[in-house]
Amino acid sequence: MVIMTTTSSLTFLPVLERIAEEMSRTPGRGRPADYIPALAACDPRSFGMAVAELDGTVYGVGEWRQPFSAQSLTKVFTLALDLAREGDELWEHVGREPSGNPFNSLVQLEYEHGIPRNPFINAGALVVTDRLQTRTGDAAGELLAFLRAESANPALDFDREVAASETAHGDRNAALGHFMASYGNIDNDVPVLLDQYFRQCSVAASCADLALATGFLARHGVRADGSRLLTRSQAKQVNAVMLTCGTYDAAGDFAYRVGLPGKSGVGGGIIAVVPGRCTLCVWSPGLDERGNSVAGVAALDRFTTLTGLSVF
């Protein structure tokens, strides 16, 4: 049943309230990421959801202003920041195809000569962070400044506990970095790259912050202040890669159920884009076996079903 046809908050808010009520009655909400000890203690039944309109109006339900660990959601923003600087040259170093393997897999890199399948698996995100680091000297700092500006929240920051936890358990990411360096696909020293990457992933932000920060993709590349970060074509590229690769090896199922470009993170967040209309962020830390929020995917499925908003 379609219960809205405009982007007004007066019609979106009842949809969010209905979804939150449904999620509160949903059993089997998955398990938090236990391979990052700082995330393992999160309550899998926590839930928040926010919608940001093109003009920056934002509203939500549940714990929508509660900061959480953004993790891989930040890969969208580092991709956009680097793509804005180097354009299509980036795609010589990272692909645009779904991986079909876990997000931290080493398998494909060997037979694809150190070129990761896409920017959203860990290997691909390391390449993007490396290239942004080369161009800025502080990739994580560039990311944080961007998120603070787009969310209008100067208090956004890295979570040192999470970054330290990831560093202490980062052997596989180190292996990915060294392996790609052996093929000449990493410019910076791997320890420097890993420090930047783990800081990037440790950003703590709320659903409201992240829905607002993603707004440039709904505005076809235009930032909150009216300046252009990406060309319209580049914004289309980022949205396309989100749709096909943003939820790891569950991207096909996500596209089938939700029908929007989206990106998940093991902190339990998912961001999604309705081009030309709005952006969303949902958070619930209980994950499925593929690393995606169980309640988050279900909530976005309900949103597109109830509103009729989809890219299809």
pLDDT tens-digit series, residues 133-147: 999 999 999 999 999
- Compute the C-alpha angle 84/67/156, nearest 5°: 50
Element (DSSP H or E) covering residue 77: helix 74-86
* 211, 281 Cβ separation under 8 angstroms: yes
What are 61's two structure tokens? Answer: 């339900």
Higher pLDDT, 99 or 89: 89
pLDDT bracket for residue 104 (50, 70, 90): low
pLDDT bracket for residue 107 (50, 70, 90): confident
If DSSP states are collapsed to H, E and C, what string results for 173-221?
HHHHHHHHHHCCCCCCCHHHHHHHHHHHHCEEECHHHHHHHCHHHHCCC
pLDDT at 238: 98
Segment 9-37 shows an average pLDDT of: 86
Q: Average pLDDT over the chain, rounded to whole?
A: 93
User: Rounded to an integer, what distance in angstroms lies between the CA atom of residue 136 and that of residue 142?
Assistant: 7
Residue 106 confidence (pLDDT) above 90: no
pLDDT at 3: 33
Higher pLDDT, 58 or 33: 58
Segment 45-70 shows an average pLDDT of: 96
pLDDT at 86: 97
pLDDT at 75: 98
- Compute the C-alpha angle 251/253/256, nearest 5°: 110
